[in-house]
Amino acid sequence: MTNNGLIALTEDELDTLVSIAIRRAELLDDARSPTANDAWHEVMVYEERLAAITSPSDIVGGVARVGAVRAALAAGRRLDASSLASRYLAEVELPPERRAAIERAFQEDRDLLARRFPALAKTGRLAELEEWRAVTSAHPHVFPQAA
Query: How far is 44 from 31, CA to CA, in rounded Å?
Result: 20
36, 63, 76, 126 from 87: Cα distances, Å = 25, 15, 19, 24
Tell me the percentage of the chain whose pLDDT exceeds 90. 69
More confident residue, 137 or 126: 126
pTM of the prediction?
A: 0.84
Ranking 25-34, 61-70, 116-125, 136-145 by mean pLDDT, the lowest is 136-145
Dihedral sign of CA atoms 40, 43, 48, 54 in order = negative
* pLDDT at residue number 147: 47
Ranking 40-49, 72-81, 124-133 by mean pLDDT, the lowest is 124-133
